[in-house]
Chains A and B, each alone.
Chain A
Amino acid sequence: MSSTPPLLSVQSLDIAFGSHRVVKDLSFDLHAGQTLAIVGESGSGKSMTSLATMGLVHYLNATIAKGRILYRRTSDSAPLELTALSDKEMRRIRGKEISMIFQEPMTSLNPVYTVGDQITEVLRLHGDYSRATAREEALRLLRLVRLADAESLLKRYPHQLSGGMRQRVMIAMALACKPKVLVADEPTTALDVTIQAQILAIIKDLQKELGMAVIFITHDMGVVAEVADHVVVMRNGEKVEEADVATLFAAPQKPYTQALLAAVPTLGSMQGEALPRAEPLIIFDGEKVVTQGEATLQDTVQVQQTPVVSVRNLVTRFDIHKGFFGGVSHRVHAVENVSFDIQPGETLALVGESGSGKSTIGRTIQQLQKSTSGDIVFSGKPVAEMSRAEKMTLRQQVQYIFQDPFASLDPRKTVGFSIAEPIRTHRLMGDERRIKQRVGELLERVGLSPEHGERYPHEFSGGQRQRICIARALASKPKLIIADEALSALDVSIQAQIIHLMMQLQREEGLAYLFISHDMAVVEKMSHRVAVLHLGQIVEMGPRQRVFDAPQHAYTKKLLSAVPVADPHHRREHLLLEGDIPSPIRRVGDEPTVYPLDEITAGHFVSRNGASLRS
C-alpha cells in the first residue's frame, strides 16, 4: 500500500479557535480503499479533523493555522492542496469526491424537504442529471443502502423515518457522486446496536463496491476493531499513536492507548464467571499508566432477605393520537406484564433497544409515571396501599440517576445545594451545620472534595457531574438506585471510573441497582442478573452468566451478536436483525399477545415467543 502515494495526506495540521489550538501538528495518510479510524475521547479534536478534510472548519469560526491537506485525484496526478483552494474550488470537491456522514441522523436531514429532493439535489449539483434521471438514480441509491419501498420514500419527509432509516438516507446522499473519500463522523453512535451493525455492514459493503477510502471517526473501540485497517489515536488535539489495527490492539505502545484499551468494556470478558468483578482501575495520569485498587468479587446479593422491590404483572400504556372529541385511537404499549424482584445488594440490568420499555419500567417504579395495572411492592408493601407519608419515604429510598449529567443539575444552584436538597426535602437533618458536613462527606464518597460543594455545575466535567448526581442520589440513604443509561454519555475512561465507584458503593452500602442500559458490555461487567426486554415484554431473564454465556431466546442471541467486540481478531459474522426496530404503538383494541415465561434452569426464564420476532 505504501508504494502508491496516499490519496489524502494531512501534514502538520493545526486548527485553532482564535488562539486556542484544538488540533496540534497532526499528520496522517489515507490510502485508496483503506479504512482509517481516528479514535479519541471528547475534546480530542477528532471531529474538527474530519471537518477540516471537508474544508468546513471556517463555518464554525475555526481556522487552519498551520499545515496542509493534500489530495490526489489519481495516483499519478499532482496533489491538490485542499487547504489552499478557494471556497468555490473546494465546493467542486466537497460532496463529490470527498463526502461526509454525520453523527446525528435525527438532525442531519432538512426537515422541510423530502428525501427525494435532498438526494437529487446533490446529484444535480455535481452530475449531469435531468430531473427524471436524477430521480432514477436516487431510487437506485436508496436500494443500495437497503431501504425497502424506495419509491414511496422519495416523497417522504425526514420526520416520518426512524433514526436508522435517516442514517441510510444520509449515506445514500453522501455516496451519490461515488466519492473517493468518505468521512464518517461517529455515524452509528446515536443508534441501537442492532441498527449500528446494519449500518456498519452497509458502509463496509459499499466501500468494497466503490473502492472508497473511509475516515471513520469514533470513540468506540469495538467499532474500531470491527471496521478499521489503520488507527490514529488522538488526545487533546494531538496524535498519540498510529498503527495498523491488529498491532494497536495487540501491543499498544503509548501509555494513553494502553489505558484507553484497558478501560473499554469487552463483551465476553466475564465468560465463565458467576459474579460481577470490580476490576482495578487503570488510569492514565498524563504520563504513565497507574493501576488503582485490586480485583474484587461483587458478592453482595442478600438472597435471604425480602426483595427491595417486587414488580408483578406491570403494565404501562400511554394514550396517543387523540381524536377531535378526546377519543383515543392509538396507545403506546410501553410495558406489558413485566414481573421481577431485586434483592438488597443486587444489580438487575434491563437491556433492550429503543422503545423496548426499559426506561418506562424505571420511571414507573420511581412513581414518575403511573402504571396502567399490576403491583409494585416495596419491602413487602404494595405502592397502591401506601399512605402519603409512606409514599414520601419510598421516594427517599428509591433514587434515580439520569443519562445526561449536564441537564440533571440546576445550573443556577451550587452543587452543594443540589446535594443537600433531598436531605432537606425528606427532613433527614435539621441542623444546617450537619447538613453541610454531610454534603462534604458525600462529595468525598464519590471521589470529589468538600470544597467542590461551593461551585456551580458548569465548573465540572461530564464525569464529575455524574459523580455529583450519584452523591445527590446517595444523600437520602436510598436502598435502590435506578440508573437510566447513566454511563452512556461518558467517555470510556470516565465510564470505567463511574462503574468502579458504583460497585464500590454497592459493596459498602449494600445498595441495589436497577441498571438500565443499551450497552451490553457494561451490563456484562456489573450486573448480577439481566432481563432482556422486547416491545415491553421480558423475553429472557436470568443470572448474568446464563444469559450472556448461553442465551436461549433468539432475540437475546441477535442482540448479543450485534455488539462490536474490541478485538480485531474477533470479527464475527453478525446475526443481522433485518428491518427497523418494531414500534410499540398499536391501535386501540389491537392488544399484543403476552407470552408466558418458562423457567428452563433455576432462575433462568425464557419467553415462549421465540419464533415471532423479526428475523
Chain B
Amino acid sequence: MEDKSIIELFFQRDEKAITESQNKYGSYCRAIAHNILHSKEDTEECVNDTWLRSWNSIPPEKPKRLSVYFGRITRNLAIDRYRKERSMKHGGGQTSICLDELSECIGAEDPIEDTLVLKDLLNSFLSSLPEKHRHIFLFRYWYMMPVSDIADHCGMTSDAVKMLLSRTRKKLEKYLKKEGFEK
C-alpha cells in the first residue's frame, strides 16, 4: 500500500492503518530497534509502541517520509529503553559503542542545555559532508548499524569504515568547537 493511503487510514481513524504500517514498515523498525537493543523481546515491544505512538500523533501530524517518521519514533523509544536498562546494568547492542564513539566529539565539562541548537548545527554539518560520508555516519549513528554491516553494504573493509567514521567525528568535533561547544 502506498504511504499516502496509509496516512489516509490514520486520518480516518481506521485501525487498518496499524496493520498496513506493520506490513510495510515492521521489519524496518525491528531492524533499527534490534541494532540498539539486541534483544528480541525488547525489540518487539518497541515496535508495538511505535504503532501506538503513531496512532496518537497522526493526525495532527502528516509525515512526509513515513519510513523515517516511524523509524525515528522506534529509534527514540529504543534509546529510552536502552537508557533504562543501562541504569540497571544490562548491555544493549551497538548503542554503548556508538555512545563511546560520539563522546569523542563533544566535551563532558559543560552540560548541553539546548538539544535543538545542536540539531540545527548537525543539519548544517551533515549537509556539508560528501553524500557517502554522510550516509556512513548516519548508518552508524542514526540506524546504529554494526561497522561490519556498513562495510558489507558499502563494499569497503571494516577498517576503512572505522577510519572514515573517525575522520568524520574529528571534523564534527572541530565544527562543534568552532560553534561554541568546547570540548
Bound together: no
| Chain A residues engaging chain B, CB cutoff 8 angstroms | none
| Chain B residues engaging chain A, CB cutoff 8 angstroms | none
